[in-house]
Amino acid sequence: MKQDIAWCPGCGNFPIRAALEKVLKELPVPAKNIVLTSGIGQAAKMPHYLPYSYFNGLHGRSLPLAVGIKLARPDLTVIAVSGDGCHYGEGGNHFIHTIRRRLDITILVCDNKVYGLTKGQSSPTTDLGMKNALDPQGNLNTPFSPLVTALAAGAPFVARTFAGDAQHMEQVLRESILFRGPSVVDILQPCVSFNKVNTYAWYRERLYKLEEPPRDRQEAMRLAEIWGERIPIGVFWRDGQFVCREIRETFRRPVTEAAVAKLLDTKCIMMR
């Protein structure tokens, strides 16, 4: 792609971009029917570097955009891709409630465990005690667990993959996009400039692959809580019984002038 990419050399976003591009190209979906949304951050630049339609919104707002697009155009393949700060911090509430809406949206999180764009402050997934420029004594907050939260909110597809393993990433991304329902993928993404702890080597020492998803949610939860000397990656939960929400025709009707006038009129009455 002939475009300057504003990521640092070695950033984990590069292999994620490559995997996503490969998977999207191979999808049995025309390119014009694929749309990406993102918020603000380094990861949120991802759609700029892919040849698909996108809506780049405010920080933390990739998911309301994705929901709006899906409701208006259920025929589109909608993928929201942003960072851990964007999806889990500023957009944390949207993360939970988008899962509850049972729409067919893929939520991809490039999780570098820091705020990359704003120079490495602690993010929701930063480990307790990790030092950075703004937390020289170490992060005082307990890390947010994305997979446990996604499972608790009822996500029918929950996975984790690693930017340093292209094959694993492609497999998990493909499966998450093809799954009909809200799917969550936490992608462990080294930030070579501001996260000197969770490096490619650090992950390679600890990661192990789940052979197949657990049979029940409780086991998925148990595995999702593991983070330490050993860290599982793979599909933690795939609900074969999940029923995606049918989008009623009413959502697809164009807004008429009469409907808007009626709404405005109602507002006036309420304000009096």
Ligand X SMILES: Cc1ncc(C[n+]2csc(CCOP(=O)(O)OP(=O)(O)O)c2C)c(N)n1
Query: Applying CB under 6 A, which residues contact ligand X?
Result: 40-43, 59, 82-86, 90, 110, 112, 114-118, 123
The type of residue at 84 is D
Q: What CA–CA distance (Å, rounded) separates 268 from 265?
A: 5
**Partner whose binding site includes residue 8, from ligand SF4, ligand X, none (CB under 5 to 8 Å by kind):** ligand SF4
Q: At what angle do helices 62-72 and 92-100 cross, to 10 degrees?
A: 30
Q: What CA–CA distance (Å, rounded) separates 95 from 60?
A: 9
In the complex, the smallest distance separating the C-beta of residue 197 from ligand X, rounded to whole angstroms, is 15
By beta-carbon proximity to ligand SF4, the closer residue of 33 and 193 is 193
Tokens of 209: 């692959």
By beta-carbon proximity to ligand SF4, the closer residue of 106 and 132 is 132
In the complex, the smallest distance separating the C-beta of residue 190 from ligand SF4, rounded to whole angstroms, is 7
Interface with ligand SF4 by CB under 6 A: which range of 5-13, 55-63, 124-132, 201-209? Answer: 5-13
Tokens of 253: 């009707």
In the complex, the smallest distance separating the C-beta of residue 211 from ligand SF4, rounded to whole angstroms, is 31
In the complex, the smallest distance separating the C-beta of residue 140 from ligand X, rounded to whole angstroms, is 18
- The sign of the dihedral angle between the CA atoms of 190, 196, 201, 206 is negative
Interface with ligand SF4 by CB under 6 A: which range of 8-16, 47-55, 70-78, 164-172? Answer: 8-16
By beta-carbon proximity to ligand SF4, the closer residue of 45 and 94 is 45
Q: What CA–CA distance (Å, rounded) separates 173 from 176?
A: 5
Tokens of 155: 């996500």
Residues 19-78 that bind ligand SF4 (CB under 6 A): 42
**Partner whose binding site includes residue 84, from ligand X, ligand SF4, none (CB under 5 to 8 Å by kind):** ligand X
In contact, 118 and 125? CB cutoff 8 Å: no
Q: Does residue 122 belong to the site contacting ligand SF4 (CB under 6 A)?
A: no
**Partner whose binding site includes residue 34, from ligand SF4, ligand X, none (CB under 5 to 8 Å by kind):** none
Residues 157-196 that bind ligand SF4 (CB under 6 A): 191-194
Query: Which residues, 6+ apart, have CB-to-CB distance to 14 below 8 Å?
Result: 5, 7
**Partner whose binding site includes residue 104, from ligand SF4, ligand X, none (CB under 5 to 8 Å by kind):** none
By beta-carbon proximity to ligand SF4, the closer residue of 11 and 78 is 11
Q: How far is CA 167 from the centre of its chain?
A: 19
Q: What are the distances in angstroms from CA 9 to CA 6, 184, 190, 198, 239?
A: 9, 27, 12, 17, 38
Q: What CA–CA distance (Å, rounded) separates 60 from 91?
A: 4
**Partner whose binding site includes residue 234, from ligand X, ligand SF4, none (CB under 5 to 8 Å by kind):** none
Residue nearest to ligand X (CB): 83
In the complex, the smallest distance separating the C-beta of residue 123 from ligand X, rounded to whole angstroms, is 5
Residues 76-115 that bind ligand SF4 (CB under 6 A): 112
Q: What CA–CA distance (Å, rounded) separates 155 from 238?
A: 9
